[in-house]
Chains A and B, each alone.
Chain A
Amino acid sequence: MQGTAKALPGAAHGPKVRARRESGLSIPTLWVTAAWRPRKERGSQPGTPGSEGGSGALSGKSFNSSRKGVPGGTGLGSRTQGGWGPGPGRVLLQVQAPGRGRGPRAGPAWEPGLRPLHPPALGSHARPLGYAQAPPRQIRLRSVPPPPARVYLPCRRRRSRRCWTRRPAPSHRPAARDWLSAVQSEGPERGRAFPAGAPEAGAPGCACAVRAAGLVPAELRSWAVVGQAWSVGSGSAAATGWGAACRMPEIRVTPLGAGQDVGRSCILVSIGGKNVMLDCGMHMGFNDDRRFPDFSYITRNGRLTDFLDCVIISHFHLDHCGALPYFSEMVGYDGPIYMTHPTQAICPILLEDYRKIAVDKKGEANFFTSQMIKDCMKKVVAVHLHQTVQVDDELEIKAYYAGHVLGAAMFQIKVGSESVVYTGDYNMTPDRHLGAAWIDKCRPNLLITESTYATTIRDSKRCRERDFLKKVHETVERGGKVLIPVFALGRAQELCILLETFWERVNLKAPIYFSTGLTEKANHYYKLFITWTNQKIRKTFVQRNMFEFKHIKAFDRAFADNPGPMVVFATPGMLHAGQSLQIFRKWAGNEKNMVIMPGYCVQGTVGHKILSGQRKLEMEGRQVLEVKMQVEYMSFSAHADAKGIMQLVGQAEPESVLLVHGEAKKMEFLKQKIEQEFRVNCYMPANGETVTLPTSPSIPVGISLGLLKREMAQGLLPSAKKPRLLHGTLIMKDSSFQLVSSEQALKELGLAEHQLRFTCRVHLHDSRKEQETAARVYSHLKSVLKDHCVQHLPDGSVTVESILIQAAAHSEDPGTKVLLVSWTYQDEELGSYLTSLLKKGLPQAPS
């Protein structure tokens, strides 16, 4: 438990709970925004602890003052309280305990702006943050420039719509970024930061910041929601937990489990104002509170249903769904839970099995009951592969085949143009019974991928299978017994198919057993959900169902003592309980026997211990079990290896990658590889850490077909040198946005066009007749303006495009002619150019 110990959820869990108890804050992370600190310090690099400590205190103070200044609290204030995510100015304050080996990560290799702090003991928000009270901690401050072009300031939005008309001309108006810097330089007093004419923050109808986010109707709608949330938040700020996220153009991810760890997968994602929980697993390495994710992180007092829009379960393994009944029935969640059909079918059976072991065998109290499992499953909505499920008007999810176990799926979560893909566990190489994971080039903003085998590149499957069969064969030949601990569904079927075909080919007689109960049922599931298996099995199932085994028989406990060779598949797969452990204890003393671990073992399990070379095991009741039997590890886990992970990243083409479900050290390696190869940012937050990704969603509006077609008709590709501009008027009415031509806009608003026309008199010395002057003007202009349409009309006038030129005699001076040049405001440039051209006179006519 060293090295990665702090990455284990247990470690992260403990201090967090403590921290909360001391501080009354539910925040494991703290973000301090630049808005509250003098600019000088914002620019400072991580320097001496002293100065940083000072700024930390300052930020604490200003935090308070800002709260006082704006009754009801600003968005930033309440968000920081809620503990979920950073403010827009990206200055990170990292507090860390010294000597915990986190130094290097805080170094230059850091991702800009995305490493939040780990929970220190923070002072309550009612008094200055008490860093001084925690002297042994090293405080690091880092300034990170705000992401380009997009700065989202919740308080800006709070200006009412009225200010649009009063806004000064664009050149005088500070851009959002300028405004931010203004705030920064002016320090904590935020009232001053508003441009003139802006009403106080807190005005109703905050849908005014047209510029930054402004034009998205969806955003307008969610702003209203934000407004509500804030008003709620200001009243009972403590009630706003993680879920009080507001609509920000950013994606936030916080793993509650599986962050730099395997087991207890549970990841919170906030995207486009929607909060989604991905997986809800248990940890096999713990038997106490730490086995389930800490759902109080989401909200402490509120109902989970109010904070989560949906829960998605990727597959039926307990480290991905084991905490579900606890979460939905004991903590309380009534929203939808999405999973695929096979997962929905199998998941309750595994949960029931888990419950039985926990309650009946270990005698745990306060565990979820069978009825809770049933009630929980009633909240499940089954999804098809590739079906686009509309969770609500804006949030949609879509499942892709993941190939890890029957029914395993990857999920795409999409709000507007922002999307996240969560892979769950997946396998990129097809095996004997499942196909390979596949995803289209969906270009998500973020890909959250498992990384169990982050550093492993597995040799060919064929070699592994040959090895496995050889070892089994040899042991059986010399009369030994082979124990293969498996989980009832998944690898079990794969290895059964492998042994079944081998037994048939080599004509072996030694019995193969499969521990009863679940497994028979399991095979039945495979038969009924055959559409989820691979192509070959699907094609041949009518003739021969691969899951009807001839050589493999049901196991009975008495068989374990039978003499002679045998092969037994027993559950569970990590030797942490149940039948597999019983058989293991019986057979461990004989060196003729063999145990083959076909998959990953979580720390703390017997499987993990024997794989790491331990040969004397302490069992219950202080017994010591000496392991003499051979221990083999063969990776048949259906997880993608490093190559497979890279392959998936290549397939999906994400803008950034986030690693979960793996060990920290290995992740580090893969992270570097991904960053090198794909030139995308890669994150690996620990449990409780938040990653925030700014996004820049484009704004969908409706363009009138007439305008679009007119534009398209002029050729599709604008030349690089002279880009052609589309001109139009954007009409914003309620939440609808329409881009139309200016003429149409006038018409739609019922306004008449006001024509502004100029006529200039240009005097020319020319004694010839008017017609001749006109002709000379014509030939002159024709020669100068080669790209324009110059015409000589029969009535003697000359036109250049729509500009009219007429020649008239001067009333007093017969030697002078007056040219009347007339144009509209729209042709002003050309018109004024023409007058200046004509003013210079005409070239001497050829006589």
Chain B
Amino acid sequence: MKLYCLSGHPTLPCNVLKFKSTTIMLDCGLDMTSTLNFLPLPLVQSPRLSNLPGWSLKDGNAFLDKELKECSGHVFVDSVPEFCLPETELIDLSTVDVILISNYHCMMALPYITEHTGFTGTVYATEPTVQIGRLLPSPLKDAVEVSTWRRCYTMQEVNSALSKIQLVGYSQKIELFGAVQVTPLSSGYALGSSNWIIQSHYEKVSYVSGSSLLTTHPQPMDQASLKNSDVLVLTGLTQIPTANPDGMVGEFCSNLALTVRNGGNVLVPCYPSGVIYDLLECLYQYIDSAGLSNIPFYFISPVANSSLEFSQIFAEWLCHNKQTKVYLPEPPFPHAELIQTNKLRHYPSIHGDFSNDFRQPCVVFTGHPSLRFGDVVHFMELWGKSSLNTVIFTEPDFSYLEALAPYQPLAMKCIYCPIDTRLNFIQVSKLLKEVQPLHVVCPEQYTQPPPAQSHRMDLMIDCQPPAMSYRRAEVLALPFKRLFEKIEIMPELADSLVPMEIKPGISLATVSAVLHTKDNKHVLQPPPRPAPPTSGKKRKRASEDIPDCKVLKPLLSGSIPVEQFVQTLEKHGFSDVKVEDTAKGHIVLLQEAETLIQIEEDSTHIICDNDEMLRVRLRDLVLKFLQKF
């Protein structure tokens, strides 16, 4: 059993597990942090950005000078963003049988794998994961308008990739070729997010990716099913282990209120799904008490409407409180009411209706959180010069300082309230204590304190035995020895078995049966009865046939007590039995028959003349004292 690590990013993993003749890809994350090295793509031509000075190497080599621009001490690439794909050379990706997706953030590299590697398998994901994943901004979709990316992905390819996804529900058992069973479990992080169990009858691997123990909107994490794992692969822990999500939400609200009260605008760069539901719910409770009921909230995204609508229909994937609301029937999320009362308005883009309705001061939720593309670029340009305004970062995926770098110098206030509900290290150690896996495998980042806080020894995974770590492009042999496989004994065969009790509580039965293997399922059937001899002549010949040495005799065990053996011999008509002692045992002599029987602790040797009758008689006497296996 091996684990191939194709991505080094701990929260956007892409691993391949080889297990019992199946090749399973675990997640398909695309590392998008590289966008931060590029200049933002403005919606309208920005004189500031286009007038940035070029940058050239110190040795004067300037062949890249048109592409590299300098902005307040940082160098940026002035082109369409490019991303770091998972490793493709480590393993032949066309041999991947299935891809398991754990949440909608971890599927962005999917079209690349399914459309460009000869992949012919199936992708498994939950329905919310697919529906929301389809909405999320991704290079796959947003970049299609840009010619550079077209070579890699087209919209058609994205659709083709999505068509290979098979929808699954939590706790659904999916058989892979009869060899392995995979099961998604609720992970509590996002709508439809899942952990996966990959198991055969005797082995169990748990894949924990992006899980949360906090009570937010999704169904709570299923921990019990992770128990008794041989290996637990742990990825997708919180990216901000020092921040408490609850505190961050409070800070978010108070900063928002403060800015708006002072007449400024608030910009919240965010994804169109996920934490925004929780933020809206908090604001719903907070608006009136903070006296913000007249402030318009705008949610601008090409998928704003879909995201808000979709969130309301996945009742089965929500936490219990929200489910009971649906049973009333009421929409599970309060943002339905915000929309109804016109407090929250959503627009596909800043063009069209939005420009008519736009009122300041206001709060705008828009993407992309990297501040490199999407409508957020426009608002940064628009509001960046006024210190009244505030930008509040809530998504933890990008470093806010780097995200802001190309906008420097900036007058607007920046608040960093990263809300990451995924497991932190305290929760991890609690979880590991609870589920007790034999081995833990995790990205190497989790086995040492973060580089910026190297003294924080608590910010790493602490377990016994120590976690095995992996890094990009590494192949890990998992400590796993398969000893048994399930086989079914047909009832007819079971009927014919004769158990013997060897020791108290332990019985044995010798089995001779025909093995049938189909779809990786093994069945033992009773051996066919030998065909009855048809005629006398043939029978005679058959008896002369060379015996098939495949007819196996059982093994023997035990030892022969000499005195009893001699008594038995005498009882059976052997007279003149002599016994001699040797170093290792005894020699029994049958003088009449010129036969010699050497008896030792664990061997018996019968030496006789070529008299088959005699030999068989002696054999049967010897066998009486031995146990057969």
A binds B: yes
Complex contact B513–A702 (CB within 8 A): no
Q: List 20 A-B contacts (CB under 8 A).
A: A210-B494, A210-B499, A344-B327, A345-B327, A382-B323, A387-B170, A528-B326, A699-B491, A703-B522, A705-B483, A723-B527, A726-B524, A732-B508, A739-B487, A745-B508, A749-B508, A751-B558, A753-B555, A758-B606, A825-B556
Is A550 located at the chain interface by the 8 A CB criterion?
no
Q: Tell me which residues across on chain B come within 8 A of A701, comparing CB atoms.
A: 486-489
Q: Tell me which residues across on chain B come within 8 A of A785, comparing CB atoms.
A: 546
Output the least CB separation between A140 and chain B (Å).
Answer: 32
Is B91 located at the chain interface by the 8 A CB criterion?
no
A-side binding surface: helix, strand, loop or mixed? mixed
Q: Tell me which residues across on chain A come within 8 A of B512, comparing CB atoms.
A: 725-727
Output the least CB separation between B321 and chain A (Å).
Answer: 14
Known: A745-B629, A788-B546. A761 touches B506 (CB 8 A): no
Complex contact B605–A759 (CB within 8 A): yes
Contact residues, B564-621 vs A (CB, 8 A): 601-610, 612, 615, 619
Complex contact A730–B549 (CB within 8 A): no
Complex contact A830–B306 (CB within 8 A): no
Contact residues, B536-570 vs A (CB, 8 A): 546-560
Contact residues, B163-209 vs A (CB, 8 A): 168-173, 183, 201-202
Is B458 located at the chain interface by the 8 A CB criterion?
no
Q: Tell me which residues across on chain A come within 8 A of B627, comparing CB atoms.
A: 751
Output the least CB separation between B522 and chain A (Å).
Answer: 7
Complex contact B551–A753 (CB within 8 A): no
Further 15 A-B residue pairs, CB within 8 A, beyond A699-B489, A731-B508: A212-B494, A213-B491, A384-B172, A386-B172, A389-B171, A703-B522, A724-B550, A732-B509, A742-B554, A753-B556, A754-B558, A755-B602, A755-B603, A756-B605, A761-B610
Residues of B within 8 A of A (CB): 127, 168-173, 183, 201-202, 305-306, 309-310, 312-316, 323, 326-327, 329, 331-332, 482-492, 494-503, 505-515, 517, 522-524, 527-528, 546-560, 601-610, 612, 615, 619, 622-623, 626-627, 629
Complex contact A711–B515 (CB within 8 A): yes
Complex contact B508–A703 (CB within 8 A): no
Q: Tell me which residues across on chain A come within 8 A of B546, comparing CB atoms.
A: 784-785, 787-788, 830, 833
Known: A711-B515, A754-B602. A828 touches B553 (CB 8 A): yes
Is A125 located at the chain interface by the 8 A CB criterion?
no
Q: Which of these, B331, B492, B499, contacts A528 with CB under 8 Å?
A: B331
Output the least CB separation between B52 and chain A (Å).
Answer: 40
Q: Which of these, A521, A698, A751, A825, contacts B329 with CB under 8 Å?
A: A521
Output the least CB separation between A805 and chain B (Å).
Answer: 12
Is A211 located at the chain interface by the 8 A CB criterion?
yes
Output the least CB separation between B479 and chain A (Å).
Answer: 16
Is A696 located at the chain interface by the 8 A CB criterion?
yes
B-side binding surface: helix, strand, loop or mixed? mixed
The 6 tightest CB contacts between A and B, nearest first, are: A829-B547, A702-B484, A384-B169, A345-B327, A698-B488, A755-B603
Output the least CB separation between B187 and chain A (Å).
Answer: 15
A699 to B524, CA, bound (A): 10
Render A727-765 as a binary contact track against B, CB cut-off 8 A, 1 for contact: 111111110001100110110010111111111111100
Complex contact A528–B487 (CB within 8 A): no
Q: Tell me which residues across on chain A come within 8 A of B314, comparing CB atoms.
A: 531
A167 to B549, CA, bound (A): 30
Complex contact B488–A211 (CB within 8 A): no
Q: In the complex, what residue of chain A is closest to B524 when comparing beta carbons?
A: A726
Complex contact A742–B485 (CB within 8 A): no
Q: Which of these, A528, A754, A821, contacts B312 with CB under 8 Å?
A: A528
A3 to B499, CA, bound (A): 57
Complex contact A726–B515 (CB within 8 A): yes
Contact residues, A342-399 vs B (CB, 8 A): 344-345, 382, 384-389, 398
Complex contact A341–B315 (CB within 8 A): yes
Complex contact B604–A755 (CB within 8 A): yes
Q: In the complex, what residue of chain A is closest to B329 when comparing beta carbons?
A: A524
Complex contact B615–A760 (CB within 8 A): yes
Is A541 located at the chain interface by the 8 A CB criterion?
yes
A716 to B518, CA, bound (A): 9
A832 to B559, CA, bound (A): 24
Output the least CB separation between B184 and chain A (Å).
Answer: 10
Complex contact A698–B523 (CB within 8 A): yes
Complex contact A164–B491 (CB within 8 A): no
Q: Tell me which residues across on chain B come within 8 A of A829, comparing CB atoms.
A: 547-549, 551
Complex contact A746–B557 (CB within 8 A): yes
Q: Which of these, A167, A700, A755, contacts B486 with CB under 8 Å?
A: A700
Output the least CB separation between B550 and chain A (Å).
Answer: 7
Q: In the complex, what residue of chain A is closest to B303 when comparing beta carbons?
A: A542
Complex contact A698–B604 (CB within 8 A): no
Contact residues, A763-816 vs B (CB, 8 A): 763, 784-785, 787-788, 801
Known: A825-B556, A836-B612. A167 touches B503 (CB 8 A): no
Q: Tell me which residues across on chain A come within 8 A of B608, comparing CB atoms.
A: 758-761
Complex contact B313–A731 (CB within 8 A): no
Q: Which of these, A388, A705, A754, A836, contacts B559 with CB under 8 Å?
A: A754
A interface residue count range (under 10 / 10 to 19 / 20 to 34 / 35 or more): 35 or more
Q: Which of these, B202, B496, B515, B619, contacts A825 with CB under 8 Å?
A: B619
Output the least CB separation between A803 and chain B (Å).
Answer: 10
A602 to B339, CA, bound (A): 45
A341 to B171, CA, bound (A): 15
Complex contact B503–A749 (CB within 8 A): yes
Is A835 located at the chain interface by the 8 A CB criterion?
yes
Q: Tell me which residues across on chain B come within 8 A of A305, comparing CB atoms.
A: none
Render A507-543 as a binary contact track against B, CB cut-off 8 A, 1 for contact: 0000000000000010011011111000000000110
Complex contact A835–B315 (CB within 8 A): no
A749 to B500, CA, bound (A): 13
Complex contact B485–A702 (CB within 8 A): yes
Output the least CB separation between B503 and chain A (Å).
Answer: 7
Q: Which of these, A341, A700, A705, A754, contacts B316 with CB under 8 Å?
A: A341
Complex contact B484–A752 (CB within 8 A): no
Q: Tell me which residues across on chain A come within 8 A of B606, comparing CB atoms.
A: 756-759
Is A215 located at the chain interface by the 8 A CB criterion?
yes
Q: Which of these, A167, A759, A835, contacts B498 with CB under 8 Å?
A: A167
Is A456 located at the chain interface by the 8 A CB criterion?
no
Complex contact B511–A387 (CB within 8 A): no
Q: Tell me which residues across on chain A come within 8 A of B507, comparing CB atoms.
A: 161, 164, 210, 731-733
Is A287 located at the chain interface by the 8 A CB criterion?
no
Output the least CB separation between A524 and chain B (Å).
Answer: 5
Complex contact A724–B169 (CB within 8 A): no
A746 to B558, CA, bound (A): 10
Known: A697-B491, A701-B487. A730 touches B513 (CB 8 A): no
A726 to B514, CA, bound (A): 6
Q: Tell me which residues across on chain A come within 8 A of B483, comparing CB atoms.
A: 704-705
Complex contact A528–B315 (CB within 8 A): yes
Q: In the complex, what residue of chain A is closest to B488 when comparing beta carbons?
A: A698
Output the least CB separation between B384 and chain A (Å).
Answer: 33
A802 to B502, CA, bound (A): 30
A175 to B498, CA, bound (A): 11
Complex contact A525–B556 (CB within 8 A): no
Is A551 located at the chain interface by the 8 A CB criterion?
no
A214 to B496, CA, bound (A): 11
Q: Which of these, A249, A388, A528, A751, contacts B557 with CB under 8 Å?
A: A751
Q: Tell me which residues across on chain B come within 8 A of A398, comparing CB atoms.
A: 172
Q: Which of these, B171, B503, B511, contacts A739 with CB under 8 Å?
A: B511
Known: A345-B329, A761-B608, A801-B549. A730 touches B316 (CB 8 A): no
A745 to B511, CA, bound (A): 12
Q: Which of these, B509, B553, B610, contacts A763 with CB under 8 Å?
A: B610
Q: Which of these, B183, B484, B497, contacts A730 with CB under 8 Å?
A: B497
Complex contact B498–A752 (CB within 8 A): no
Q: Tell me which residues across on chain B come within 8 A of A236, comparing CB atoms.
A: none
Complex contact A705–B484 (CB within 8 A): yes
Output the least CB separation between B181 and chain A (Å).
Answer: 10
Known: A215-B494, A742-B555. A756 touches B603 (CB 8 A): yes
Complex contact A708–B509 (CB within 8 A): no
Q: Tell me which residues across on chain A come within 8 A of B170, comparing CB atoms.
A: 384, 387
